[in-house]
Each structure stands twice: as C-alpha cells, then as structure tokens.
Structure 1
Amino acid sequence: MTELRLVPVAAVMWIAVAALIISALHVLALGIIVVAVMVAVAFKHWGQGLVIGAVSLGGVAIAALRMNSAQEFVRPDTWVGTAENIKILDSGDQLISFKVEGFPALIPVFYSGDLSIEKASVIAVSGRESPDSFAGIGDLTISTTDIELLSPATGYSAWVNQVRDGFAQSVETSVGESSRGLIPGMVLGDTRLQGTIESQTYIDTGLSHLSAVSGSNVAIVVSSVVVLSYFLTAGPRTRVAASLSALVIFVSLVGFEPSVLRASVTGIVGLLAIINSSRMEPMHGLCLAVIFLLFYDSNLAVQYGFLLSCAATAGIVVLNPLLYLALGPPLARWRVPDIVVRALAVSIAADLVTIPIIALMARQVSLVSVLANVLVDIAVPPITLLGLVAVLASLLPWPVEYVLLKIIEPFTWWIHQVATWCQQLPNSTVEINAGWLGIAWASVAALWVVVIIHKGFIRTLLICCALFFLFGMWHGRLPEQMDPTHMRFVIISEESEIPDVDKGTELIIVKDPKGSMSQRPIVTSEGVPVLYPYRDGEVSIHIDGTQHAADGRF
C-alpha cells in the first residue's frame, strides 16, 4: 500500500486550494486541512498528518498569495503583455491567453478585430473588463476590438511560430480535407485548421483528446525514444536523458501552456501504469504530479481539463489491470488479439472514471467513446511519430515532408471516418439531467459496468449494448426528407434580415457563418425553418416539419 501514501496528501491539497479559489474564504481552506490532519492523527498516522498539513498549507499559502497579488494589482487603462495562446472561436473572434508581468494568472482576452495575433507577440490591450464566469486566481476577462501589436515574437518563439506555420501550410497543400485539421492538432497541438463541425464530431465520440496534444501523445513520444535507446544498447541513464530531451523538445514546439504541461506529466504517469513500471508506482507518480502542478499553477485546481486528465490517468492506473484480467480470458477464446484487449481495457478504464466529470461539465455523455478509441488506437502512434519527423523535414529546403504526410494521411482519414460513423450511430450521446441526480445516475451506471465486466458477464453486456443501439436505430428512423429546391426559399446574408423576408416563404437560408452552432432546430415565429449551412453544416428538413443535423446534434 506504499504507493497510496500520497493519495490523501494530493487530495487534501487539491480540495483545499479549490475551496479557497471558489469561495475566497481562507477559513474554509484551513478548516479542510485541519479536519484531514485530525483524521490522520485519530488513526495514529502521525507522519501522514504532518505531510498532509505541510504540503496542503504550502499549496493554500501560494494560492492565497497569488489571489492577493491579483486583487492588489493596479489595473491600467492599457494592458501590455504577451499572447501566450490564441484560439479561434466559432464566431470568428480570437480568444487570447494574455500574460501580463506582475499579474499572477493568464487573462482571457476576447478580441473581435481584424489583427492577426501570433503566439509570444507583445501586444497592448484596452477594452471592457468584466469578472470571469469561471472561478480562478485572476477573476478577470477583457473584451476588446482594440489591440496594438507592439512587437512580434522574437528568438526561439519566433522560430517555433515559423515551424508551426510552415507545417500547417505543408499539411494544407498536401492532404485531403478530412486530414488537414487532425495532423497539426495531433502532432503540434495546432487546431487552427479544424472547423467547428469537425471539432464537435471528435467531442461527441470521445476523441477530442486526439484532435489536440494529450497525454497519449506524450506517452508515445517518450516510449518510442526509450525503445529506440534500448535497441541502440544505451544504458539506463542515457535512456532517461534521451527521453527527457525528447520531451523538452516536444513541449517547446507545442507550447508551455498549462494544458500541455498537464498532458506531459499525466502522459508519463499513464505510460508508467501501462508498462507496469517497477521503479516508480504509477499512483505515487500521479500524486507527485498533482502536487507539483498545483504548486506551479494554482488555477489548475478549478479547471475541468486538469480534473479529466488526472481522473483518466487514475482510472488507467487502478482499473486497467482489473479490466484486462477480466476481459483477457473470454476475449482470448474469441481469438481477439491481445493488443486489442489491452486497448479495450485502457479505453474502458479511462472512459468510465471520467463519465461523472463529463456529465457535470457538458450534461451529456458519449456512449461510443470506447468503441471509437479502440478502433483508432492503432492509427495514433504512426501519426504522432511520423508527424514529428515531418515537422523536422518541413524545415529543409526540399518538400521532403510531402511523402511523410501522404503516408500519414490514411491513418488520419481512418480516424475521421471512425469519428463520423460513430457520431451517426443511434444514441451515440445521451443527455444527462441537470442537477446532481443526473450525475449520480451516470456514476452508478459506470460502476455497474465495472462490476458486470469483473463478474465475467461480458457476453451479456455486449448483447445489451447491441440491443440498445438497434432500438435507437429503429426508434430514430427519420420521416421522408424534403428537397429544399422544391420549396419557396430565400437566401439572406445576415440573421437581422429575417423580419424583412416576404410572407409565403417556406425556407430561409442564412449565409452568415458567425455564432455558435445551433443545438436545436431554428424556426421563425410563423414556423418557417431557418438554416445556417455555413455555421451548422448539413441540416435536412422532413415532411413532418422536423429538422435533423447530419452530425446528430438535433
């Protein structure tokens, strides 16, 4: 049980820091620590109580100092800082993670202007300040149309931007549409070429971790270097040095954002769990990772991404051996390859433990994520490794990367096809009722799946899943589709023109691509269907008056 000795330490520190950030009550955070120490002392775990108290107080103290620094920071009329990360939103606006010297947290800046911002460039921002809708150290967002570029990225940062831009350009001109968004995302975490519909497809099928850099990418890079060093007869110290060097190079190319650091640490821990390392227990490594990351960035305590990464890693550490032992014998009798059994165990373990978190975060759960992850598992390593080689090849004066990208393209095409097919399966996602009751039901269902697999009722589980999807296929049959060209339709540029549409119009098509994707059918007060093909993708109209999105959103 020695590998579990840091679990209470990491858990108490995490809860105390999160409680402080959410409530801003120092008494509450200290109370949590005191109660935990008293419980440890009551069970005569004196050393455990001492470590819990020292580590948790240290984490809370650092978080409190950061919160106090943010409150006392003199807010200027014009903020000057560095653009750490840029994300293009559905509306076309840019979300910039903005770092200001002296301010203890990144500031989200929503920019709706035309200036193209690069990572690591120095910018001046002035606009409307408002409290952040999510709890955090800074509790500040800025909305603006006024950003001035003071100086572009320089030195190593400029070189990294050049590498990312050059690689994205090579991908865009070399591969098909289904691969353009995935390759830069999986290799360098660059999602600029991913459309809204494509991103939603990966979210709905539980493959969103593949559409950007995740712990699996880190594990593949590190493990590949370890295996290569082994075949080159390198010693243990050389293998470690080579692995760390590869990790540093990989992270420096992707970026040092909190999400990348989180993926790096949890990916290494997950790798330890899968290879069953004897030098460091995986759970011990995960707890050390949590403690280190919370000291590094207190904001991680209240971020869903950090919670999902740690939960998935813990699920792999705890449940993967149990599920593999339960799945192995029956699937071996069905002549299922061992590598598929291992992939299935890892996917189920990670999926089950994250179901309650996803239900809390998104109010929906993907029922096809295990299937999708198992089907694409074999395609991930070639994309990651050959993609990194293609990045290096793109720096050469000759188009050498073209050959590598063409080799990668069938793998990314396969992932895209799997995601599209799984999303279109009936009941691919289920809505979770608002409130804790719905989350409790999701948690109970996940626990029952573990029990059923552990007891050996795998055939029964597969039959139930098949019947569930068949029922959804029968129940979800769509009425006859109408041909829009046979309807009286009008095409307008913007939504504001809808009131001016002539009476008698049977269909309105809006060309404006801005705004979030619709989660339900849109009709006017008179019942006229309104379609946004450049924003929502393909939406069909049926004889009963209903609308259905091709990706299954409604």
Structure 2
Amino acid sequence: MAVACLFGAAVAAHAAMQAGQRDDGPVADVAAARDSVVIHVLIVGDPRELGTDSRGSGRWAVPAEVIDIAADGMLIRSRTRILLTGGEGWGQVVTGQEVRTAGKLKPAKPGQVEAGVLAAATPPMRPDSQRKPDTQNKPDTQNKPDTQNKPEARHPTQGPADIPHGPAQLKRQFSSAAEWLQGDAAGLLPGMVTGDTTGLDESLETAMKTTGTTHLTAVSGANCSLILGGLVLLARSFRLARGVAAIVALGGLAAFVMMVGPDASVLRAAVMGAIGLTALSSGRQGRSLGFLCLAVTGLLTLDPSLGTSVGFLLSVLATLGIVLLARPIASWAPSWVPSWLASAVAVPLAAQLLCSPVIVALQPQFSSYSLLTNIAVAPFVAPVTILGTIAVPLVPLLPWLAIVPIAVAGASAGMVAAIARFFAGLPGASLPWPEGPAGIATMSLWSVGTVLLVWLVLHPTRVVSAVLWLHGRLVLLIAAGESSLRRR
C-alpha cells in the first residue's frame, strides 16, 4: 500500500507539473494573446481528418510539440504540446518530422491536453537550416526580444517539408504493395499490420464498428501479443533457454514497434500485449496484475496525458479482464472442449466484459454479435499479423519475395472483412442502449450477469445439485411451518 501511494503521488506530481507548464507557461501566454506566430514544431502523432473546407479541400488536426515560437519580436522555446489544424500538405506529415509554419495561435478548449491550437496559414515547411548555429547556446525558454530572429526573417520559405524515411516510408510502401489485392483486403491489410487506415472502405469501417472489431484496424495489444508469442515459440523451437527466448522475443517486439512507428499508442499496445501474453502463459495472476500496475504507473509517469485517453483506458481494462477473468473462464469449460477453443472464447469475452461499460458511454449501442465476430475472426488475425509483419521489411528489400506473405495475409484479411460484413448485416446487430450513467450502470450489471450465466451453463451438475439442495431445504421449511400452525 505504501509503494502504491508513493507511485500515485509521483504520477500526480508529474501531472501537476505538466499542467502548470501547459496553463501558465510562455506558450499559453502567446495563445492567450491570440497573436500570429511563426512556429517550429515536432510532429508527435498521426494526422486526423476533420472534414473539408468551403473549397472542398481536406482539413487535418495534427498533434505536435513546440520547439520554438517567433511572436511579437521574441523567440520562445518550450517543449509544450499544441494542436495544429491545416489543409494542404498537413495530411502527409508523419510522426518524428520537424516542420515550420505560420498562423494564429489560440487557447485550447478546457479539458484538452494541449496548451493551444494553431490554425496553420501555410503548408508544412522545412525548418530554416540557417537558424541552428546562432541558437545552440540559448536557454530553453526565453522571452527577450530577438532582433535577428523576427517572424518576418524566419518565415518558412524553403519549400515543403521533406517526409523522413523510416516507419512512415515503410507504411506507404507496404500500402502500395498491397494495392493489387482484391476487394476489402487492399484497404484492411495495411490497417491490421501497420495501423494505416487511409485506404479502408467506409462501409467496412462502419461494419467493424457495429461488430466491435475496430481494434483490429490499429496496432493493438493483440498484434503485439501475437508477435511476441510467435517469437517465443520460434526461439523455443531452437531449444533456447527460457530467459534467452524472452530476451529474443522482447528484442523482436522492440523492432516491430520501431518498424510501425514508436508513438504513444504503439508503445502502450506493446506493453499491454506483453502483459496479456504473460498472464495467459504463466498462470500467475498476482504477478501479472503486479506487472500491469507497474506498467500503468510507468506509462502515466512518462506521459500523464494518457490519463485522459479513452484508448489507454480501454487498453488497460481489456488487459485487466484478460489477467483476472480469462483463465478462470477458460477453466470452466468441460474436459472434452479443447484448451485452444476455451481460450479463444474466454479471452475476447474477458476483455469485452470490462470494456463494455466504457464503450456504451462513448457510443450508446449494444453490439449483439461482437463476441461471436471476434471469435470467428480470431483464426485469421494471426496470419494477417505475423505474415504481414514479415512482409513489411521485405517490400523495400526483396519485393518479389514479399508477394507470397502479402497474398496469404491479404486472403486472411479478406476473410476478416467478410465475417465483419456478415455479422453487421444480421438483424439486431446494433441495438440502442441507455445513455450516460444509466447506460454505464446497466452495462456493468449486464457484464456481471454474463459471468454468472456462463458459470451456470458450464457447471450443470453443480447447478442441479444446488437446486435440489435448495428444494429440499424449502420443503423442510414449509413442513416445519405447517406443523407449527397445526399445533396452534
């Protein structure tokens, strides 16, 4: 308890420090003045489409971290998060890219983790290379006038920003290599392997939302668990010691994270996937729960803004469900049921039971066939993840060799899409659910009732014995009551 309180205090202190920097720092002061600025930022997340403007051009929101701001004759440096919104060129920026742009900086809305929102008036531009020599020895944050770095002199005129090589380039090459696939597979395969959903068909995306399988179109804990489990089995097949196999598997998982892009969501998925696999393979619930608590504490210490992320909450709840409920539910299955089949049902059921109250709070509807869909697509998820991951580095190195894994992974992705469309088209696939606290409470009760119902169905002998025992006690109670009434 003392250690838990200490960790909680550390996370709270770090969150308070970041909140103070966001609300009272120099970037917040510039945003409050609503000045036009020239800004140099580091892209820290993928662009999110906002829609189209009056001219029909796409609008994008891009999370970024400030490197420096030129405003009102001053140069300000502060590692603070902001949100960029813009049109032309902003849909192509990638995580890890440094860009420069100009626009008006405004305060963020209450509840946002960013210190401000910049409406970019220009496309993303390359940073000014002439700036670096005279700024290396300056402090991190300064509000003194800078006559040599006025906004006019620092306007980004060097041309569009270069897209760096690395994860973004691999994603684009893999998406291009999968274009020859037919139907839904061409758009779904890149999403399931690298998280690139730009080619995903809107009707298929709707079907996956209806059936509760949208987590498959992003790099999630399930992907990381499959990669980690496959590497462990491969290492053990070479008769490596358990510790060596674990090190090899973790190294491979780290390589996978770097390949798809080490942003916050991928790192979170890797941590949660490793914990979930540990819980299923070790059978030690207490140790897995301790690992989960340490992982959540570490992630929140590194990035307190995860505390406001719904994706982080769902990831933690899904992992918690697997740690606490998956093995007990699987153990309830009769002896004639194969263990792999029991686990295939128990894992998605355990994750869904804990995530459902949060999901209905976001979207007040009940996905009737979510569990059945996740069970049905499970055999095809592993080939997509493992073979697709193998194909990603082969595309730029040996494109002719990547055709085979892409074909097999694409066929499996096509089956996932077909199953999602089938269950989404069934009657009652999406049922209305109460909104707000009432919806959360009723879904929580539904989850508890589901666990009890599963136990009752899988333990018929105990249920019959309990019913007969209660019947016998009730008969004795009634007989005793009749006897006492006759005596009177």
TM-score tier (shorter): 0.7 to 0.9
Partners of 1:429 and 1:349 lie apart in 2 by 20
Q: Contact 1:304–1:361 (CA<8 Å) still a contact in 2?
A: no
Equivalent of 2:208 in 178, 198, 202: 202
**Pairing 1:86–2:46 present:** yes
Change (3 A) 1:458 1:423: farther
Change (3 A) 1:443 1:139: farther
What does 1:435-474 correspond to in 2, within 5 Å?
435-456=436-457
Change (3 A) 1:289 1:212: same
Partners of 1:98 and 1:197 lie apart in 2 by 31
Change (3 A) 1:452 1:223: same
Unaligned 5+ segments in structure 1 are 1-47, 460-554
Cα deviation for residue 262 of structure 1 reads 1.0
Change (3 A) 1:145 1:206: farther
Q: Contact 1:188–1:213 (CA<8 Å) still a contact in 2?
A: yes
Q: Contact 1:98–1:107 (CA<8 Å) still a contact in 2?
A: yes
Which residue in the other structure is 2:369 paired with? 368
**Pairing 1:123–2:123 present:** no
Cα deviation for residue 278 of structure 1 reads 5.0
Cα deviation for residue 228 of structure 1 reads 0.7
Cα deviation for residue 113 of structure 1 reads 2.6
Cα deviation for residue 192 of structure 1 reads 1.8
Cα deviation for residue 455 of structure 1 reads 2.0
Change (3 A) 1:103 1:60: farther
What does 1:71-110 correspond to in 2, within 5 Å?
71-75=23-27, 77-89=37-49, 91=51, 92-101=58-67, 103=78, 106-110=81-85
Q: Contact 2:50–2:61 (CA<8 Å) still a contact in 1?
A: no
Q: Relative to structure 2, which stretch is displaced further, 243-252 or 337-346?
A: 337-346
Partners of 1:341 and 1:107 lie apart in 2 by 46
Which residue in the other structure is 1:63 paired with? 15
Deviations 1:71-127 (A, max 9, x none): 233235122112233335262422212122365554332322355533132222334
Partners of 2:423 and 2:459 lie apart in 1 by 21
Secondary structure of the 2:267 match is helix
Cα deviation for residue 146 of structure 1 reads 2.5
Aligned length: 403
Secondary structure of the 2:457 match is coil
Partners of 2:219 and 2:402 lie apart in 1 by 20
Partners of 1:202 and 1:134 lie apart in 2 by 32
**Pairing 1:163–2:170 present:** yes
Change (3 A) 1:247 1:457: closer
Structure with greater Cα Rg: 2
Cα deviation for residue 167 of structure 1 reads 1.1
Partners of 1:393 and 1:237 lie apart in 2 by 29
Partners of 2:455 and 2:436 lie apart in 1 by 30
Change (3 A) 1:128 1:359: farther
Equivalent of 1:112 in 64, 77, 87: 87
Partners of 1:128 and 1:429 lie apart in 2 by 43
Cα deviation for residue 232 of structure 1 reads 0.7
Which residue in the other structure is 1:356 paired with? 357
Which residue in the other structure is 1:183 paired with? 189
Cα deviation for residue 131 of structure 1 reads 4.8
Change (3 A) 1:356 1:382: same
Q: Contact 1:216–1:267 (CA<8 Å) still a contact in 2?
A: yes
Secondary structure of the 1:420 match is helix
Cα deviation for residue 409 of structure 1 reads 1.9
Which residue in the other structure is 1:411 paired with? 412
Secondary structure of the 2:41 match is strand
Q: Which amino acid aligns with 1:339?
A: W
Q: Contact 2:81–2:115 (CA<8 Å) still a contact in 1?
A: no
Partners of 2:119 and 2:228 lie apart in 1 by 40
Q: Contact 2:87–2:123 (CA<8 Å) still a contact in 1?
A: no
Which residue in the other structure is 1:400 paired with? 401
Equivalent of 2:116 in 140, 144, 155: 140
Deviations 1:507-530 (A, max 9, x none): xxxxxxxxxxxxxxxxxxxxxxxx
Partners of 1:381 and 1:196 lie apart in 2 by 24
Cα deviation for residue 162 of structure 1 reads 2.2
**Pairing 1:304–2:314 present:** no
Deviations 1:251-274 (A, max 9, x none): 111112211111111111110111
Which residue in the other structure is 1:267 paired with? 273
What does 1:376-525 correspond to in 2, within 5 Å?
376-456=377-457
Deviations 1:184-228 (A, max 9, x none): 112112222123333222222111111111001101111111111
Q: Relative to structure 2, which stretch is displaced further, 425-434 or 242-251?
A: 425-434
Which residue in the other structure is 2:125 paired with? 149
What does 1:18-37 correspond to in 2, within 5 Å?
none
Q: Contact 2:175–2:190 (CA<8 Å) still a contact in 1?
A: yes
Partners of 1:442 and 1:128 lie apart in 2 by 44
Backbone CA RMSD of aligned residues = 2.4
Partners of 1:131 and 1:73 lie apart in 2 by 12
Change (3 A) 1:454 1:115: closer
Secondary structure of the 2:46 match is strand
Q: Contact 1:127–1:142 (CA<8 Å) still a contact in 2?
A: yes
Partners of 2:354 and 2:375 lie apart in 1 by 17
Q: Contact 1:219–1:268 (CA<8 Å) still a contact in 2?
A: yes
Task: Give TM-score, length-normalised by structure 1.
Answer: 0.68
Q: Relative to structure 2, which stretch is displaced further, 447-456 or 231-240?
A: 231-240
Partners of 1:106 and 1:387 lie apart in 2 by 33
Q: Contact 1:383–1:411 (CA<8 Å) still a contact in 2?
A: yes
Secondary structure of the 1:66 match is helix
Q: Relative to structure 2, which stretch is displaced further, 210-219 or 315-324?
A: 315-324
Deviations 1:316-349 (A, max 9, x none): 11111221122x11xx65xx54322211111111
Which residue in the other structure is 2:465 paired with? none
Deviations 1:139-191 (A, max 9, x none): 5333335233215457xx5133222211111011x211311222111211222
Unaligned 5+ segments in structure 2 are 31-36, 52-57, 68-76, 128-160, 461-488
Q: Which amino acid aligns with 2:62?
A: I
Change (3 A) 1:143 1:432: farther
Partners of 2:16 and 2:169 lie apart in 1 by 39
Q: Which amino acid aligns with 1:202?
A: M
Partners of 2:300 and 2:14 lie apart in 1 by 9
Partners of 2:14 and 2:282 lie apart in 1 by 34
Task: Give TM-score, length-normalised by structure 2.
Answer: 0.77
Partners of 1:132 and 1:252 lie apart in 2 by 31
Partners of 2:62 and 2:418 lie apart in 1 by 32
